[in-house]
Structure 1
Amino acid sequence: MTNYEIQTDREWWSQQWLDLLDKYRFKKRLERARNYARQGNVLSINFQDQKVQAQVQGTQSEPYEVSLWLDHFSDEEWGFVIETLSEQAIFSAKLLAGEMPQNIEEVFAANGLRLFPFSLDDVHAHCTCPDKANPCKHIGAVYYMLGDRFSEDPFVLFKLRGQSQEKIIANLRQLRSPSDEEPETKTQLLAEIETVNSYPPKVEQFWEYNEQLDPSLVVITPPASSDNVLNVLGSIPLETAANQTPGRSISASETVMQYLDTIYKNISQQAVIMALSRDE
């Protein structure tokens, strides 16, 4: 495996994945995971049945087995997403060029879905090491290495959501091409985009929209960022009790932070429920 290197010019979709991990509050464990990735401890990363299967060398002679996966979208949900993608040439052109469209999440949100995980809780992972924390440093190392995979191939994220690159491209071409014509090529798509962009917008009408909004397109979702006051302030500096069992993995500070984090998540969920239950 190639060692993980910190980059400042990553593609935005790769960086968004890594930002999810960087918000993890236990920074010491995060640093150990980053070092594992840098030092080449991730021996292999493979995809099996839309799951990531990896081997990570720890302190033992035998490497640990790591599994990582996301919730899959159904065929019906993917059908809605791809149909929405096909309605704008820019999406098809970007994907055909191996790039992730900047506002791709809007397409998924319009169908009541999220492409990128909202928080680490949305990423399922398992490691054979004895550490009960999740993510442990072995899982964290795989997270970092996946950031490189996303940078090389954005379709990896689609695959984790249950759809292959080949099927997405084939369906996009089919939806955008009449049945009696050849499939649309990337060159044709780019030409269509150029034609659309050739019409100068009228500044005085930029903020106007006179069409009736489709209620089905109004989707209430949690905020894109999971940052809260806990992430900003960091761990609470609580002293360890004198009678605490030696070698205990979770400190008093971590226990309190986990409790407060649960409260914040419950409040966020209640806010979404209240918004969905409003009549107006």
Structure 2
Amino acid sequence: MTAVKGFPAFPPQRAGARFATSWWGRAWIKAMEDTSLDHTLLQKGRAYAKTGQVGPITVSPGRLAAITEGEYDTVVRVSHLTDAEWNRFLDQVAAQSGHLAALLDGEVPHDLVEAAEDAAVPLLPTVGDLEPECSCPDWGHPCKHAAALCYQASWLLDGDPFVLLLLRGRGRDDLLAALQQRDVPAPADTGTPARAAYALGVPPLPAPPPPAAEYVPLELQEAPGVNTGALKVLAASAAGRARELLAGGTPAVLTERQDRVRLAAEHGLDIGDAPAVLAWQYGGAGGLDTLEHAWNPGKQELARAEAAWRREDLPPVEAARNRWTLGALQLRLGRDGRWYPYTLRDDGQWWPSGGPERDPAALADQV
């Protein structure tokens, strides 16, 4: 019997909803977008996908189908893996028990896909692998309806990687049954047999590690000209950085200004510069630098961010150097490659308003 799986229609999504949070879901979208020659149709497809204009989706071997806006029959075809390719893929899954465990846990391991590629098994689609068909009069490849179907399919792939395997020809049950019937290679003649290992009994546990040294606040007596409160803060800070060194970390070398802001952020000191303290609490030294300095990012870095912003159909921004402004929201790109959100206060000043993100579109819900 041919495996078929149905999924209910996705309801309308919020404006900032994202497609494909998984790396394999993003690979699916990339294969579709790289094939397209019309960015406008892709934009319309994203809007259709988010506004609930795609009906229930049916997934079967080599075929993704739905009734879309206007009662159009929309299909996206994917080539099947041959029996020989499936056998090679099953070899890779069986080679490591963690591969199957990851699939059952809703993950597609990078090393499994790479091993499949080494075995000439095209698991993830690339340019030209997705063949859209639609009964609408649009000549786009894909049309907006097929694009919408592909974008919504990325949500299905995020939730269940077996959807991808079904599109390639075999469903979850078929795959598990085939793995159960395979001959597992005999283990190498090394190590201790399980019976002998159990006969050894339970060995004693190793000695517990030495307890971590706890910081004991300094007991200081008041003295003329000595700020004992500041000394206690400095001692606590030094103890924390020492623990970080002992744990194998490498504390950053800070300027006097950075260290003053750090101390205020970590110990609740009032240095009369609340925006700087907030910036440090949200992003450390990188957050403070982004607050205090504008700079000119590279064109390639900005192009990637602009493409991510457009993919989510977000409103246009006013761009100046590393700062994007949209009403009372401003996003600033830090030299650490992260985008920091700022909010315009009543006094006309921009204040840090949240933690940073690699993708500026992820901060769009603050619009």
Normalised TM-score (structure 2): 0.44
Which SS does the other structure have where 2:18 is aligned?
coil
- What's 1:204 paired with? none
Which SS does the other structure have where 1:103 is aligned?
helix
| Root-mean-square deviation (Å) | 2.6
Distance (Å, rounded) in 1 between the aligned partners of 2:39 and 2:25: 20
- What's 2:159 paired with? 152
Distance (Å, rounded) in 2 between the aligned partners of 1:43 and 1:8: 17
CA distance 1:11–1:166, shift in 2 (3 Å): same
Unaligned runs of 5+ in 1: 180-230, 235-280
- What's 1:45 paired with? 57
Distance (Å, rounded) in 1 between the aligned partners of 2:172 and 2:123: 15
Q: CA deviation at 1:53?
A: 1.6
Which SS does the other structure have where 2:154 is aligned?
helix
Letter in 2 for 1:88: Q
Q: Does 1:7 align with 2:27?
A: no
Normalised TM-score (structure 1): 0.57
- What's 1:89 paired with? 97
Q: Which has the higher strand share?
A: 2
CA distance 1:9–1:21, shift in 2 (3 Å): closer
Letter in 1 for 2:96: Q
Structure 1 residue ranges, 4+ long, deviating more than 3 angstroms after superposition: 21-25, 173-179
Distance (Å, rounded) in 1 between the aligned partners of 2:13 and 2:109: 25
- What's 1:78 paired with? 86
2:28 aligned to which of 11, 14, 17: 17
Equivalenced residue count is 177
2:168 aligned to which of 161, 167, 170: 161
Letter in 2 for 1:51: R
Letter in 1 for 2:162: F
CA distance 1:109–1:173, shift in 2 (3 Å): same
Q: CA deviation at 1:122?
A: 1.3
Structure exhibiting the larger radius of gyration computed from Cα positions:
2
Distance (Å, rounded) in 2 between the aligned partners of 1:152 and 1:176: 30
Q: Does 1:127 align with 2:134?
A: yes
The correspondence of residues 252-271 of structure 1 with structure 2, limited to 5 A, is: none
Q: Does 1:26 align with 2:38?
A: yes
Question: Quick check: 1:150–1:156 contact (8 Å CA) kept in 2?
Answer: yes
Which SS does the other structure have where 2:182 is aligned?
helix
CA distance 1:118–1:178, shift in 2 (3 Å): closer
Which of 1 and 2 has higher RCO (CA within 8 Å, sep 6+)?
1
CA distance 1:50–1:71, shift in 2 (3 Å): closer
Q: Does 1:106 align with 2:118?
A: no
Letter in 1 for 2:65: Q
Question: Quick check: 1:92–1:172 contact (8 Å CA) kept in 2?
Answer: no
Unaligned runs of 5+ in 2: 1-8, 187-302, 308-367
CA-to-partner distance for each residue in 1:26-60, whole Å, 9 max, x for gaps? 221111111111111102211245411211013xx
CA distance 1:126–1:25, shift in 2 (3 Å): closer
Question: Quick check: 1:4–1:144 contact (8 Å CA) kept in 2?
Answer: no
- What's 1:116 paired with? 124
Q: CA deviation at 1:91?
A: 0.8
The correspondence of residues 165-244 of structure 1 with structure 2, limited to 5 A, is: 165-175=172-182
What is the percent sequence identity of the aligned residues?
A: 28
Question: Quick check: 2:44–2:144 contact (8 Å CA) kept in 1?
Answer: yes
Letter in 2 for 1:20: A
